[in-house]
Chains A and B, each alone.
Chain A
Amino acid sequence: MIFLVLAVASMGLHRQINAQVPPNSGEISSRKNEFLPNNSKLEVEFVPDAKSVVIHLDASSIGEESETGNGCRHLMEHLIVLGNDGKLDERLESQGAFLTASTLRDGLDISVSCKPSDLALGISALAEITANLNWVDSDLIREKGIIDQEIALQNSADKLSGEAWQLAYGEAGANPIGDPDLLNKVTVSEVKLLAEKTFVGDRLAITIAGPIKISDAISAGEGFLKRFASQAGTNEARTKQKLPEIGSVDASGSVRAEPVSGISDESTAATLAAGLAIASTFSDSFFIYTPSDRGSLVVVGSQTTGEIDDAIDSSDASDVDRLFARGKLLAKEYVKHEDDHSNGFWRAYLLAQNANDTPEVMLSRIATLTIQDFRKGFNSFRKDHAVTVDGNS
């Protein structure tokens, strides 16, 4: 775990740092990419000392917030993982395999971890999930109720960050976890339509990591991906609102947030380094970053109101300069950690959005960061530039 004490790092909705020893934490000896004719992407990693094969299927969002309201993709996630008979999980678990699914700010992640000899089992589970669109109203009603329960569990960091996104991007920053009132209006046919638009070659990426033969994994991945039609589509970039913005929400603590572009942008690396450096200066900090080509947000927060004001607004130029080396190091470690410990998740999530987006790109931007870049990154978090959200409870 990284920064873990000083910052709860998160890729976004549902994605908290894995609290267990990752199954695949060994040295990666080889990695291979494939780009299929239907524009889907495949990346395979041979991890010789891993104990499991981990498959991640990621689908980038279609920017559906304006069509169906936020939360429809989340509802779809709950429905697709039921499989053909609602028993997919039980069948997988009986063979020591485990399925997880997450709705993220700009995508959907479905993952199967299984024994190295069970790659075919994992791939067949993904095939079942992406082919199963046969839901009925009772399925929707049940899963809407469960999402309603899920929304109620959001913690202060989730709420503060969610409000920061809204302030930074307006409607395009709506929380993908969903709004219960909007979700109640979603129909089976709308979810099916969203699934049909989502599971197309252009939006899909799959990563397979584990102690497996590269050629076997590529063959299995290609066999799965080639069934999807190509359907080009562009996602509109989010439009940043006029900043600074100040808001409040029913939560404890406070956050500062700064909009950033895609991961290849140098200012993104500077903001990331500055955010992590700030989070390292006080004890109960948290840090949330969701990479996105559509426009993202770097969020630094404190569980104690006022702490973050001191950490940022009271810092003078020399304080900022002193944090430069630490920020750069933490940013590098953050990217490496997310890459090493997610068993391909990060790569799949980035690839699904843009074939050129990789952790290596992020690392190269961080490596060339200058102190001038860092100062800009730090100053962007000051109250007169950034989004500020304070908890009022």
Chain B
Amino acid sequence: MIFPVCFVASTFIQSQSQVNPGANIEMIPGTNRDQIDVDAIIQLDPQGPLDRAVNQVIGETLLAGTRDYGKADFDALTGSTGNRIRCEVLPDAIHIWFSIRPSDAVSLPNLLDNLLFHASLNEDDLNKSISNLKNQNWDYWKSALYPAILPFSDIRVHDITDEYSILCNPSRIFVTIKGPVEFANLPAKINALVEQEPALQPPRHLRDPLPYEFKKANSRPLDSLTLVGNPIQVNKDFPANLIAMFCLGSGKGSILFQSVRQKLGWSYRQEADFIGSCEGLRPTIVVILKTSHDILGRSMELRKEITGAINALTEQDRMRAAAMAEAVLTRSVGMNPLDSISEDSDSELFLDSYWRMKTGSDWDADQLIRQMDQIPLDDLKLHLLDIVNSSTTEVIAGS
């Protein structure tokens, strides 16, 4: 059972005279649990390469320290559960998640307030983060999903502090908390702090509208072939696109497993995943293979093979995809095409926050399953063909 608690505060902010809309906070009771799980999202605006680099730096530096907490404090509070605090920067959100002991629940409101509104972002930490990000060596999978090369060297400190002031806005915050907490008190305490935060909303525009530059080479002998589809809106057509992704990549009866792995023998790892973006969810097909001398030829063959498999789909394939969707979304069995949106291990908790940010509605797996089950085979094929035909190919060649 979920108790949504969305606080609408009416505090007027001194400097801007704007209404603080409050953060979107949802509490999920969890009995028989010895920890409180917290998932928080800060919504991002559409970004050019520089904005994206700036947000990466914010995410990298956020946990270095805040007004009231140092890194060691975070570790002490969250490390005792074994689920130490983490932060990732997604294309459309900064995502923070952690667990604490129920006995530390009293610290939670101030901890969240610090994380979401009072990051120290001191210059030394920022420079260290920029250096780390410039030198980071992403693995083949993350590189395939996020091939953009970001201009970390062009960042100035005030770019970061400017951006952070924009992000410190309660209307961008989506929090989900699960565990044996005092539901009557905790959200009120959180919101009492959130209400005091300014709701600054300066005009937002792309600082850097230049096109992205993409990575073309891997440092390992692995090629990645990625088909990136157009962003899909989470609207009435979404169930058809979601079952299309189950059909494409979920399970060993899926199109990718059967064609790319079993028939062509090209790869051990091939997936169809949704990746978040400010414009919607991007369907993304990734195939990783040992370096080949004909990666471009293979990219064309991949499209042909997938298209052929789509056209040959039967009612049995549709039913398999629907059954996989049910197994994945209600029983966490098998591969979920939504899992790649975040690194978060507790994908249900993440989806609770993310779905509210993306759609304004609660995540409702049962409804999606019912809707997917109603998609006829011909519609499924059309949506699959649309995903593949509208996609662009990105190739990262191995060394």
- Residues of A at under 8 Å CB distance from B? 1-6, 17-23, 26-27, 51-52, 86-87, 89-90, 93-99, 113, 115, 142, 145-150, 152-153, 155, 252, 280, 329-330, 333-334, 337, 393
Q: Is the CB–CB distance between B253 and A94 below 8 Å?
A: yes
Known: A99-B252, A153-B269. A20 touches B324 (CB 8 A): no
Q: Give the distance in Å from the alpha carbon of A96 to the alpha carbon of B323 in the complex.
A: 5
Contacts of A87 in B (CB 8 A): 253
| B interface, size bucket | 35 or more
- Among B83-91, B237-245, B274-282, B356-364, the one that faces the other chain is B83-91
Within the complex, which residue of B83, B262, B289, B347 is in contact with A149, where a contact is CB–CB below 8 Å? B289
Contacts of A23 in B (CB 8 A): 331-333
Within the complex, which residue of A1, A97, A146 is in contact with B268, where a contact is CB–CB below 8 Å? A146
Q: Give the distance in Å from the alpha carbon of A115 to the alpha carbon of B324 in the complex.
A: 12
Beyond contacts A4-B82, A5-B86: 14 other A-B pairs, Cβ-Cβ < 8 A, are A1-B346, A4-B84, A4-B345, A21-B347, A23-B333, A90-B320, A94-B319, A95-B323, A96-B333, A98-B327, A113-B327, A149-B267, A149-B269, A333-B82
Q: Give the distance in Å from the alpha carbon of A90 to the alpha carbon of B324 in the complex.
A: 10
Give min CB distance, A141 to chain B, whole Å.
Answer: 9
B139 on the A face (CB < 8 A): yes
Map CB proximity to A onto B269-302 as digits: 1 under 8 Å, 0 otherwise: 1000000000000000000111000000000000
Q: For residue B222, which residue of chain A has the nearest CB?
A: A152
Within 8 A of A (CB), among B297-311: none
B137 on the A face (CB < 8 A): yes
Contacts of B252 in A (CB 8 A): 89-90, 93, 99
B266 on the A face (CB < 8 A): yes
Q: Is the CB–CB distance between B265 and A5 below 8 Å?
A: no
Within the complex, which residue of B84, B219, B267 is in contact with A5, where a contact is CB–CB below 8 Å? B84
Q: Give the distance in Å from the alpha carbon of A96 to the alpha carbon of B84 in the complex.
A: 34
Contacts of A115 in B (CB 8 A): 331
Q: For residue B252, which residue of chain A has the nearest CB?
A: A89
Q: Is the CB–CB distance between B82 and A330 below 8 Å?
A: yes
Q: For residue B266, which residue of chain A has the nearest CB?
A: A149
Which of B32, B323, B332, B348 is the most central at the interface, judged by chain A CB atoms within 10 Å of its CB? B332
Nearest 9 A-B pairs (CB), nearest first? A90-B253, A89-B252, A2-B82, A150-B268, A5-B84, A149-B268, A1-B345, A96-B327, A113-B333
Q: Give the distance in Å from the alpha carbon of A27 to the alpha carbon of B266 in the complex.
A: 43
Within the complex, which residue of A3, A22, A51, A149 is in contact with B330, where a contact is CB–CB below 8 Å? A51
Map CB proximity to A onto B251-271 as digits: 1 under 8 Å, 0 otherwise: 111000000011001111100
B334 on the A face (CB < 8 A): yes
Known: A4-B345, A5-B86, A153-B269. A93 touches B339 (CB 8 A): no
Q: Give the distance in Å from the alpha carbon of A153 to the alpha carbon of B288 in the complex.
A: 8
Tally A-B pairs: CB < 8 A.
120
Classify the interface of chain A: helix, strand, loop or mixed: loop
Give min CB distance, A392 to chain B, whole Å.
Answer: 13
Known: A23-B332, A99-B252, A145-B265. A2 touches B83 (CB 8 A): yes
Q: Give the distance in Å from the alpha carbon of A20 to the alpha carbon of B330 in the complex.
A: 12
Q: Give the distance in Å from the alpha carbon of A142 to the alpha carbon of B82 in the complex.
A: 41
Q: Is the CB–CB distance between B79 and A280 below 8 Å?
A: yes
Q: Give the distance in Å from the alpha carbon of A6 to the alpha carbon of B348 in the complex.
A: 22
Contacts of A19 in B (CB 8 A): 339, 345, 347
Q: Give the distance in Å from the alpha carbon of A113 to the alpha carbon of B331 in the complex.
A: 9
Q: Is the CB–CB distance between A94 and B333 below 8 Å?
A: no
A-B contact pairs, 20 of them (CB 8 A): A3-B82, A4-B82, A4-B345, A6-B79, A19-B345, A90-B251, A93-B327, A93-B334, A94-B319, A94-B320, A94-B323, A96-B324, A96-B326, A97-B327, A113-B333, A142-B265, A148-B290, A152-B268, A153-B268, A334-B82
B10 on the A face (CB < 8 A): no
Q: For residue A144, which residue of chain B has the nearest CB?
A: B265
Contacts of B85 in A (CB 8 A): 5
Contacts of A22 in B (CB 8 A): 332
Q: Is the CB–CB distance between A98 and B333 below 8 Å?
A: yes
B191 on the A face (CB < 8 A): no
B336 on the A face (CB < 8 A): yes
Q: Is the CB–CB distance between B333 and A52 below 8 Å?
A: yes
Which of B137, B253, B266, B324 is the most central at the interface, judged by chain A CB atoms within 10 Å of its CB? B253
Q: Give the distance in Å from the alpha carbon of A2 to the alpha carbon of B84 in the complex.
A: 9
B80 on the A face (CB < 8 A): yes
Contacts of A89 in B (CB 8 A): 251-253
